[in-house]
Structure 1
Amino acid sequence: MTTAAVAVDHDGAFPPGAGADRLRPWEKVSYGIGDFACGLSWNVVGAFLLYFYTNVALLPAAAVGTLFLLSRLFDAGVDLGVGLLVDRTRTRWGRTRPYFLFTAIPFSALLVLTFTTIEGSTGAKLAYAYVTFSLLGILYSFLAVPFSALMPMMTRDHGSRMQLGSARAIGTSVSVILATAATMPLVGLLGRGNERLGFALVAGVFAILTVAALLNLFASCRERYHDEAPRGEAVGPQIGKMLRNRAWLVTFLFCTLNFLRFGCVISVTAFFAIEVMRAPWMIGILLPAVSGTLLLSAFIAPMIFRRTGIRKGCIAALAAAIALHGVLPFIEEQHGLFLGVFLIAAILVSLTMTAIFTMAADAVDYHERIFGLRNEGLLSSGISLSTKIGMAVGTAIIAYVLGMAGYDPKAVSDGARAAIRWSYYGWPVGIMLVQIAVIAFWPMDGKHERIRREIGER
């Protein structure tokens, strides 16, 4: 038996009717601010936790790589569990919004603890890192999964979803710019030469911003559509259906690869700027550009994908980005030209990141068309998991490369520099080639209206 998606009203949402899909301007902005809340803490973790562990806490790079991998593998079960929980949640605030309200403060407190190191042996410090980083990842699941599930509940209109995707891309961009460009200057300013103190204080500032943004998300965004009845189906069959959803599977793989590339680049950039480019000042430009260019792509992506479709648009953008990355090794000594080419490549890649947000929402409609149920929570948990797996594996790869190359922050060898240089160029290009192969199987271009009509008739 199938259960139709119905319009709902929580805390002042538009009632069912012709205007139910119409999003208020502040609601769109608040959704973007919600991504800022989720992204700010996670981006500072992705950009600087490897540096913090190896250069401040003085933990072995290889051990840190294992930490990232094991913690995120554990998250696989957590994300799926949270997704199933969201699908079964029924409260007066809706199905997703309670998670923003009750997770905001604990998550933000864990961010501060994660960027705090204790006195003691290497083993004790490593154990502390395992506990704090793992708990941070668990609480992040209780934010990221409901947040991704919220978009298809807010509207079923593809154009409105593109707008929400753009708002989300802007939120991501601002969070990346702040996390990557401001962190090290603030560490120096607040810590006054003491990086250990500086990182803890910066984490505290970011924690306050995260709480404020999440509470605004809770207060401002509304759920309009979701399945009326709670699930009674066993977990196994639900996961089986998810894996047979071609749109979801393509989104999951594409997103995993995207954040695998992102994890590699964002983790190795500080080492690359300092040891290869011999220009530490470039950290404040290269890191924000990795994803900060989403701010521009958020405005141009809807126009491009409206004409090309997601599949053709992503393939063209990735192919051009790969070509530009091939030029970068030959212009390293020309810093201005290097940055110009890098920024263009980053904008092209950012277009594909913007597409992921819309793809995730469209996969819910595709699921309902095939199976008669939307399962927003479960499907969104897979996408959240893909971001964490990608980031963790990407960061672990760089940590293992540093370990195998014998990286020592006190005496960096030529072999370690060569490993850093190869990692900066080689991993992103290889991953983007695989992304092109994956996105070629995207099934939704040109079918949104037909699928919505079929669902409505059912």
Structure 2
Amino acid sequence: MDTVSDQKGSATKVQKLDERLPFHRKLTYGFTDMSGNLLYCIISGYMLYFFTNVFGMSIGTAGVLLLIGRIFDAVGAPVMGILVDHTHSKYGKSRPWFLWMSLPFAIFVWLLFTTPSLTGTAKIMYGAIIYILADLSYTAVSTPITSVLPNLTLNSDDRQVANSIRLVLGNVGNFFAVTFILPFANFLGGSNHQKGWSLAVGVYAIVAFVFLVIAFFDMREKNIENDKIITIKESFRAARGNWPWILIVLANLIYWTAYMTRSSTLAYYFQYNMHNENYISLFNGFSIIQVLGMASVPLFVKFLRKWGTTVFMLVLTCLGQAIMGFSGNNLTGLLIGWCIACIGSGSACTMFFAMVGDTVDFGEWKNGIRANGFLTAIGASFCIQVGSGFGSFIPAEVLKAFGFQSGATSQSTNAMNGISFSFLWLPIIIYIFSVLLMIVYRKWEMHEPVVIADLEKRHTV
């Protein structure tokens, strides 16, 4: 009997050891977000600028194209969540998508920043089609990043560490994307901006592809044999009456609209209003400071709860924007305001990703269905896609109304006023709506202990 007990004890110890996630897999898990941001942040930060000042598209056409493309691609978010939930392969459910989509993702993003010898409608159609394909391929890479983590390990501490590493490396990818791509393109292309952008993004695409493949080969998905298959109908049922999920989706969508309004007009502001393109890379480089805000989020949550922390960070973002607005041409004031705004926006983004997971619990509690892939895909990828579309379209229409001229070496005073309003003040107006929704969300967060307690009782039956 003692021998049997010893064997069982040894087996339990081995099982616990097997559940731990080695550091190298935590690191390679972070490679996924780093690779995605390395390319996608070029799109989010420079797409409107590239279409008008390099590709040769009018500001109005570019804005409409970006909006239509994002809305079209937004459909891919819930579809991708459902596809992940229904994937079965020898590699797992989420992991194989990194292998299948890494090369298409890299190729489509490179083609997006490559200007073909086309004119008129043909050129616009090329930009529209490749833009949609690049976004769809990003969705196919980004959705499994969130869904794969629970299957990498059962150990909650390891999951938390892995997710922290993911956020840090994701910011590293963002840093290299928004900081160095413009000077790198100028270095490679010289006066030929179209050639420079194609070569620079091509190099970035190769690096992103390599890191995604490394992540795929190092990952191992576990505990997927007994996963219950959620039907499409059940996925939609999980959202029925899920008011906290609805609030988070709306607030996150508005957040990304404001965030992209600022990001898409940054290059214009420093090129035309500040008359110094070097400031584009300087300010984008300083955005890495948002990591400090992300690291402090757990401390704020202890005192302000999740809804309060999100409201505080959004208000902090607005404060930073206002400081920039009142700084005029004072570089120091602009940098201080920018850093404050980045800390606030980066931290708020982290909170939305965390809270959408809580709404999955509410969906299971209310409807008896736990649709992780579908609800998180809508709450994350869908919001990013649609919000980014509106965040490019709205300022493009504002600039058009103020008389902005695409590709011009200088702009009229009226156009520069439109750029200043879009970059500094318009994001504040949009962020306020997200703040109001999060205040309403407070009621549902207070209800979470009841939800968790009831679910624990159900799971023990």
| Gap change, CA 1:329 and 1:436, over 3 Å in 2 | same
Structure 2 unaligned segments of length 5 or more: list them. 1-11
Instruction: Name the CA distance, whole Å, in 1 between partners of 2:229 and 2:14.
Output: 23
Q: Tell me what 1:211 maps to.
A: 209
Indicate whether 1:278 and 2:275 are aligned: yes
Instruction: Name the CA distance, whole Å, in 1 between partners of 2:357 and 2:220.
Output: 16
Structure 1 unaligned segments of length 5 or more: list them. 1-13
Q: Tell me what 1:381 maps to.
A: 377
Q: Tell me what 2:435 maps to.
A: 436
Amino acid at match of 2:412: S
Secondary structure at the aligned position of 1:242 is classed as coil
Select which of 47, 53, 56 maps to 2:54: 56
The one-character-per-residue Cα deviations of 1:125-147 (angstroms, maximum 9, x if unpaired) are 10110111111122122112222
The one-character-per-residue Cα deviations of 1:366-425 (angstroms, maximum 9, x if unpaired) are 333444443222123212111111112101222222222221132411111000111112
1:232 Cα deviation from its structure 2 partner: 6.2
Contact 2:44 2:260 in 1 (8 A): yes
TM-score, scaled to structure 1: 0.88
| Gap change, CA 1:151 and 1:361, over 3 Å in 2 | farther
The one-character-per-residue Cα deviations of 1:171-223 (angstroms, maximum 9, x if unpaired) are 33112211111011101111122110110011111111211221233233444
Select which of 354, 379, 396 maps to 1:399: 396
1:44 Cα deviation from its structure 2 partner: 0.3
Q: Tell me what 1:415 maps to.
A: 414
1:38 Cα deviation from its structure 2 partner: 1.4
Secondary structure at the aligned position of 1:59 is classed as coil
Stretch deviating more after TM superposition (30-39 or 363-372): 363-372
Indicate whether 1:138 and 2:141 are aligned: no
Select which of 303, 316, 330 maps to 1:334: 330
Instruction: Name the CA distance, whole Å, in 2 between partners of 1:227 and 1:15.
Output: 22
Q: Tell me what 1:82 maps to.
A: 80
Secondary structure at the aligned position of 1:293 is classed as helix
Secondary structure at the aligned position of 2:239 is classed as helix
Aligned residue pair count: 443
Q: Tell me what 2:261 maps to.
A: 264
Indicate whether 1:310 and 2:306 are aligned: yes
Q: Tell me what 1:362 maps to.
A: 358
Amino acid at match of 1:363: T
Q: Tell me what 2:89 maps to.
A: 91
Amino acid at match of 1:354: T
1:17 Cα deviation from its structure 2 partner: 5.7
In angstroms, what is the RMSD of aligned CA positions? 2.7
1:305 Cα deviation from its structure 2 partner: 2.4
Contact 1:61 1:402 in 2 (8 A): yes
Amino acid at match of 1:430: I
Stretch deviating more after TM superposition (54-63 or 326-335): 326-335
Contact 1:165 1:354 in 2 (8 A): no
Indicate whether 1:246 and 2:243 are aligned: yes
Contact 2:78 2:374 in 1 (8 A): yes
Instruction: Name the CA distance, whole Å, in 2 between partners of 1:33 and 1:159.
Output: 19
Amino acid at match of 2:253: T
Contact 1:103 1:142 in 2 (8 A): yes
Q: Tell me what 1:105 maps to.
A: 103
Instruction: Name the CA distance, whole Å, in 2 between partners of 1:365 and 1:219.
Output: 32
Instruction: Name the CA distance, whole Å, in 2 between partners of 1:43 and 1:218.
Output: 21
| Gap change, CA 1:372 and 1:264, over 3 Å in 2 | same
TM-score, scaled to structure 2: 0.88
| Gap change, CA 1:30 and 1:371, over 3 Å in 2 | farther
Q: Tell me what 1:124 maps to.
A: 122
Q: Tell me what 1:453 maps to.
A: 456
Amino acid at match of 1:453: E
Secondary structure at the aligned position of 1:406 is classed as coil
Instruction: Name the CA distance, whole Å, in 2 between partners of 1:97 and 1:372.
Output: 27
Contact 1:181 1:285 in 2 (8 A): yes
1:436 Cα deviation from its structure 2 partner: 1.5
Q: Tell me what 1:294 maps to.
A: 290
| Gap change, CA 1:454 and 1:198, over 3 Å in 2 | farther
Contact 2:251 2:438 in 1 (8 A): yes
Contact 1:243 1:249 in 2 (8 A): no
| Gap change, CA 1:249 and 1:27, over 3 Å in 2 | farther
Stretch deviating more after TM superposition (224-233 or 188-197): 224-233
Structure whose alpha-carbon radius of gyration is higher: 2
| Gap change, CA 1:358 and 1:455, over 3 Å in 2 | farther
The one-character-per-residue Cα deviations of 1:322-364 (angstroms, maximum 9, x if unpaired) are 2332232221222112212321232122111122332233333
Q: Tell me what 1:323 maps to.
A: 319
Secondary structure at the aligned position of 2:200 is classed as helix
